Structure 1
């Protein structure tokens, strides 16, 4: 049995506890009680979340035989630094646990404990620059879902903790079990650690349903050539009206937005499949592999081949 301890502190983000469901369903999919979970705090007793609800915890002095520690983040780590007791505990525990993971801003607790020194790490994008400024010996990668550096795991904000927990399940019980868990939790996709924290669809953020509908249509039909006339029809606008409204709502021309969607779709295929680059270019609507490379260089600064090597590494 693999014992997981959650380290909570006053003001912790409730979303961090959502990762417990991943391990719960891993037991169901695997058909055995592989994971056992308990909540801890330095002193034990009720711990108040940022939402105001309280969670009963055990004192860390009762934490025997914990294989993995999950450190939950707080709403603002700059205003709520970790306590000396937390840091001392993690410094000692770090020598014994199989792995220590930080969910969202929980990475600041590991950083303050010295556990991230000279390591790669990530955290919520909003606080990534603050982490790098405060801890210059950490290689902070602010555009990653999660990072594994030896026995230390760190994740980006909120839902990225679910992806990190799924990766742990995959490592412990195999990818088939991890996929089964993702399916049970109705997760749209099993995101890899190298995936960006930002979504092209979210960054476009249209203000009206008609533009959102056109974007949804485009995303589902990236393999085909997409014209302004076709998208305008989906939005029930004339092509001229569509271009004007689209640019006003998203800040991009329709062609630039579609290129961004193609780029994101291609990157996901590179990260999550073994399809040849020629196939990926065709499936995501680029003219050919060379065209896809040109767009990758503009968008990411690296060619698709380099990204694929990094993911495989």
Structure 2
């Protein structure tokens, strides 16, 4: 059973902590035999949101024993981060833990030196401050979350849910992550590269058209769709469609299509016995060779290895022990 530790210090805001607790701290025996061993670590007397007592026997020094450490938003980005938290987070990473921050928790990771030479994100309101204070960090204020392998960062609040679901997807596969998302009544997958916000608002009528075309494309993934097909469906020119795609999804139409095809392939590999060639046809990839090439490039393992790792039975439970360690799934 993988262990997840939530790092709590006095004055941390509540919402960012609640997301991690809801996703990792709730047993799900109907989905998987072994969920996460979840622990809240905090100094004595720590309060969350200014009023909720973090009553836990586990101190911050126990973070080093966890497989994954989650650092929620800090109380005040303009104040030095708690020295005991910085030391504990650094020790956990040195011990081999995967360390993830939610919102301004990135300031703690940066203070611990974990973000030096890496891409990272945080809430867009505080991105400039993070970049000024830590010039060795490549701060990207546009995206929802960034997975750098052993270090992950996310933007504000709701993006923390996206990051937590991304880690569940990495650990347990797409089908399980989607099942958890449905129970939380949130989107099953928002890619890390999706924009935090739209700087130039899309006119409502065009936004509705793009929403419609995305839903239509998901129903037609078995077809070899082109940008022209999407533009025609949206009643836009290909150039206009590309501009709206970039604003709403943070990526291009073709890259979005490829990502959706790969995620559909993941689900089919997990839930069916269909051959790779048949799955390639169902997701519009043409041939098994094409699917294998893109799948391996995106996820670091071939489709057959992914299936052995994340195969689930009819109830959504893992049907076999994990036989391979998948690299963090690309978004």
TM-score by length of 1: 0.70
State the match for 2:231 in structure 1.
Answer: 281
Mapping of residues 126-205 of structure 1, within 5 Å:
126-198=125-197
Structure 1 128/261 Cα, relative in aligned 2: closer, same or farther at 3 Å? farther
Report how far residue 75 of structure 1 moved: 3.9
Q: CA deviation at 1:46?
A: 2.7
Give the corresponding residue for 2:41. Answer: 40
Among 259, 281, 287, which residue is 2:206 paired with? 259
Over 3 Å counting, the alpha-carbon distance change for 1:158 and 1:265 in structure 2 is farther
- Superposed, 1:1-313 pairs within 5 Å as 1-18=1-18, 19-25=20-26, 27-41=28-42, 44-57=43-56, 58-63=58-63, 65-79=65-79, 81-198=80-197, 256-262=203-209, 276=225, 277-283=227-233, 285-293=234-242, 304-305=253-254
In 2, the alpha carbon distance for the partners of 1:192 and 1:60 equals: 31
Quick one: structure 1 residues 105 and 268, their matched pair in 2 at CA, closer, same or farther if it must change by over 3 Å?
farther
2:242/2:252 contact within 8 Å kept: yes
TM-score, normalized by length of structure 2? 0.67
CA contact (8 A) 1:143 1:198 kept: yes
Q: Which structure shows the bigger proportion of residues in strand conformation?
A: 1
Separation in 2, partners of 1:272, 1:193: 23
CA contact (8 A) 1:146 1:160 kept: yes
Q: 2:243 and 2:73 mapped to 1: Cα distance? A: 39
8 Å contact kept, 2:63–2:69: no
Distance (Å, rounded) in 1 between the aligned partners of 2:127 and 2:176: 32
Q: Which has the larger radius of gyration?
A: 1
What is the deviation of 1:272?
12
Deviations 1:272-312 (A, max 9, x none): 995733443344x2335454236557999985346667996
Q: CA RMSD, aligned part only?
A: 3.4
- Is the Cα–Cα contact under 8 Å of residues 26 and 181 in structure 1 kept in the other structure? no
- Structure 2 stretches of 5 or more lacking a match? 261-297, 299-329
- The one-character-per-residue Cα deviations of 1:46-98 (angstroms, maximum 9, x if unpaired) are 3112342111231133446310000111243113x212222222222211133
Q: Tell me the SS of whatever aligns to 1:12.
A: coil
Cα 1:291–1:150 change in 2 (3 A) is same
Q: Tell me the distance in 2 between the aligned counterparts of 1:97 and 1:273.
A: 42
Q: Which runs of 5+ in 1 are unaligned?
A: 205-251
Counterpart Cα distance in 2 of 1:11 and 1:50? 6
Q: Secondary structure at the match of 1:17?
A: helix
CA distance in 1 between counterparts of 2:179 and 2:250 reads: 35
Distance of 2:250 and 2:186 partners within structure 1: 30
